[in-house]
Amino acid sequence: MSMTIARLGRMRWGLVLIAAGSLLITACGSSGPTTSGSKTVPVGILLPMSGKEAFVGQWFDHGVEAGLYAVNHSGGVMGAKLSGQLEDTAGDPVDAVTAFRTLLLRNPVAVFGPSSLEIEGVIRQFGPDHVVDLMEGGTTQLDYMNYPYVYRVFPSDSELLSGEAYYAYKAKGCRRAAEVYDSGPNAQAEVGPVTHAFEHLGGKIVASATIVAAQSSYLSAVAKLFNGTAPQCVFFHMDPQTASTFFANVSQLGHMNLPFITGDTGASIQLAQAVGLKNASKWMTGMAAPPAYAQSNAAFLKAYQAVWHTSKPLPASPAMYDAVVIAALAMTAAHSTKPTVWRPFITKVTNPPGTKCYSYPSCVALLKKGTKINYQGASGNENFNKYHNVFSSFEVVQFDPSGNLHTVFLEAASALAALY
């Protein structure tokens, strides 16, 4: 790849390209409709590029960069290029505030990110500052959010966690499950939904443990999960460093012989390597949202290949690619980069009714003809409900011993929606 995680913690300007056209960008909250002047449109990228889940930030950043490429190499927004600046939240709500304030100095018209890890630190700032936020992350705390300037382009963990329970019960025949989650708020927020969905199906949680990340041993927690409880599967969430120690202890005590089921982090090669690819290929599964439309996925992969020089995108990157495309389409439809003007057009370009379109240039062509569009994303239909959330089908994925990710089970959105 031409750009790597070595950029972490640094500010960087992404895809600042100059092209013909005219555009005026003024301060957020006071800018008027675009007229003439600047040839770039500033946008912010707010992601956890360091900290224990920096790999999540890398996923999202890869999607944003592919989206910027797709837009800028198709004429930009009304002839102007999107210019991205990345700020690192370190996966912390407090650090996110500082990073967000740094972005505001550049007067971005949109922000991509942050993730669930730090969204609570800044979520109330998007309205007052009139900055539109398209974020990714599954925290259940946003299932019924009422923040007009915040849109979540990735399904809630409530749906994803229902998918974990559904797979355990329906595909693996698990009726007695154990749970082990680290003590962080993101992990703890998963306990209730996965328990509810599993018990709704008829399963029973027979043991549970909460662990502190990055400890030198988890032997006591492993013993608690298995001594006398006889679980048939285990739901878990932890970062790769913690998982390396935890699963070494699981193997040490002879319990690496049943399904270990986790969420979208299970699609991460870092987590699979921490578990050990030999064991992960037999016993660990994760969750991923499958590409919903061939045309959209083809457009995404073309842009991703151009930026990252690989046709194997990182997990969750399609959703952030969609976020950039959606923002650019909304600005184009509104004939403005003023957030208060283009924000209402987000649902106008994504939700039905409208002519379905699958790539930025094809959607822009329809808009220029005055056609109402319904963008179909690389990560799903991107139809937002009244709480600015979207829904998706899911696939259960697993790595093979060589580190290749494969789909092992498919789940329809309708089946999962009934569980939460």
Going by pLDDT thresholds of 50, 70 and 90, the confidence category of residue 67 is very high
The reported pLDDT for the residue numbered 419 is 81
- With cut-offs at 50, 70 and 90, classify the pLDDT of residue 21: very low
* Mean pLDDT score across all residues of the chain: 89
What pLDDT does residue 290 have? 79
- Amino acid 315: pLDDT: 87
Residues 323 and 336: their CA atoms lie apart, in Å, by: 17
Tens-digit pLDDT profile for residues 344-374: 999 999 999 999 999 999 999 999 999 999 9
Give SS3 for 257: coil
Confidence of residue 417 (pLDDT cuts 50, 70, 90): confident
> What is the model's pLDDT at position 3?
35
Residue 34, amino acid: T
The beta strands (E) that lie in 229-312 are given as 233-237, 260-261, 284-288
Exposed e or buried b per residue across 350-365, where buried means at least 16 C-beta atoms within 10 angstroms of its C-beta: bbeebebbbbbebbbe
Assess whether pLDDT exceeds 50 at residue 294. yes
pLDDT of 86: 97
Residues listed for the chain: 420
Give the pLDDT mean for 140-148: 90
What percent of the chain has pLDDT above 70? 91
Task: Please state, as a whole number, how many other Cβ atoms lie within 10 Å of the Cβ of residue 414.
Answer: 9
Mean pLDDT check: name the lowest of 236-250, 325-339, 406-420. Answer: 406-420
Return the half-sphere exposure (C-beta side, CA atoms, 13 A cut-off) of residue 303. 30
C-alpha 303/C-alpha 287 separation (Å) is 24
* Residue 376 and residue 350 in contact, taking contact as beta carbons nearer than 8 Å: no
Q: What is the pLDDT of residue 347?
A: 98
Q: At what angle do helices 54-72 and 317-334 cross, to 10 degrees?
A: 40
Lowest mean pLDDT among 136-145, 193-202, 246-255, 305-314: 136-145
pLDDT at 17: 27
Cα gap 238→266, rounded to integer Å: 10
Q: What percent of the chain has pLDDT over 90?
A: 77
Question: 394 with 289: CB under 8 angstroms?
Answer: yes
